[in-house]
């Protein structure tokens, strides 16, 4: 039905009325009246009539079609913003799971409030008091390598990840939601 122009659709509806709502009879009559045109399937006549009654238009109504939108209420937006204010490092996925909405909805709310995820960079400051412990560590590691040549093969380099009994925390995935970069 979407491939027909308005003139064809209006003729289709006119023929359906002349056939007293009988789709098969309307199809035969349409073929007689308009021999050079494509003849719509007999079910098209009834669907077109129904569409005109419901929408007042030949075109398909797209307002309430498709997957229903999630309800974005003022209350939902306030709850999302409260959760971010309480814990700015919380992920959108975690908030979406808590509130039972999509990750995209949470992300869109934050973006509309001009909040963006900034990557947290963990840095260390070298203080004067750190000199001797670092020197001691270097001497100790050299001693271990002298004793056991493959000692460094037994060392686990974590690349800023923390391993514990409760969790594995990778600091590369840390983000902070804010209006401006905190660094």
What is the model's pLDDT at position 158?
65
Angstrom distance (rounded) from CA 171 to CA 99: 25
Pick the CATH number of 74-119+174-178 from 1.10.238, 1.10.8, 1.10.10, 2.60.40: 1.10.10
Spatial contact of 34 and 11, defined as CB atoms under 8 Å apart: yes
What is the model's pLDDT at position 145?
94
- Buried b / exposed e over 103-130, threshold 16 CB at 10 Å, is eebbbebbeeeebebbebeeeeeeeeee
pLDDT digits (tens, 9 = 90+) for 60-98: 776 666 666 666 788 999 999 999 999 888 888 999 999
Query: Is the pLDDT reported for residue 2 higher than 90?
Result: no
CB atoms within 10 A of CB 41: 10
Section 108-115 average pLDDT: 90
Angstrom distance (rounded) from CA 165 to CA 174: 20
| 74 vs 169: which has the higher pLDDT | 74
| 74 vs 120: which has the higher pLDDT | 74
Query: Is the pLDDT reported for residue 167 higher than 70?
Result: no
User: Minimum mean pLDDT among 81-95, 105-119, 123-137, 164-178: which range?
Assistant: 164-178
- Domain residue ranges of the chain, discontinuous segments joined by +: 6-55, 74-119+174-178, 128-170
pLDDT digits (tens, 9 = 90+) for 40-61: 999 999 999 998 988 888 877 7
Per-residue tokens: 87:
């814990």
CA dihedral (124, 128, 132, 133) in degrees, to 10, reads: -30
Average pLDDT, the chain: 84
Section 140-145 average pLDDT: 95
Q: What is the model's pTM?
A: 0.41
Query: Is the pLDDT reported for residue 23 higher than 80?
Result: yes
Spatial contact of 83 and 89, defined as CB atoms under 8 Å apart: no
What is the model's pLDDT at position 156?
74
Section 164-170 average pLDDT: 61
What is the model's pLDDT at position 125?
77
Which among 60, 74, 147, 63 has a CA at the least distance from the CA of 112? 74
Query: Is the pLDDT reported for residue 168 higher than 60?
Result: no
């Amino acid at each position: 039905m979407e491939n027909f122009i308005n003139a064809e659709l209006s003729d289709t509806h006119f023929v359906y009325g002349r056939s007293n709502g009988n789709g098969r009879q309307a199809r035969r009559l349409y073929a007689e009246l308009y021999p050079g045109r494509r003849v719509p399937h007999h079910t098209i006549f009834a669907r077109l009539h129904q569409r005109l009654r419901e929408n007042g238009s030949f075109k398909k109504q797209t307002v309430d079609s498709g997957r229903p939108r999630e309800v974005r209420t003022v209350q939902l937006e306030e709850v999302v913003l409260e959760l971010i204010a309480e814990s700015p490092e919380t992920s959108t996925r975690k908030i979406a799971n808590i509130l039972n909405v999509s990750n995209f909805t949470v992300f869109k709310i934050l973006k509309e409030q001009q909040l963006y995820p900034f990557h947290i960079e963990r840095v260390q400051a070298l203080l004067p008091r750190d000199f001797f412990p670092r020197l001691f560590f270097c001497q100790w590691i050299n001693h271990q390598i002298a004793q056991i040549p493959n000692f460094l093969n037994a060392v686990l380099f974590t690349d800023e990840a923390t391993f514990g009994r409760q969790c594995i925390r990778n600091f590369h995935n840390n983000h902070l939601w804010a209006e401006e970069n905190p660094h």
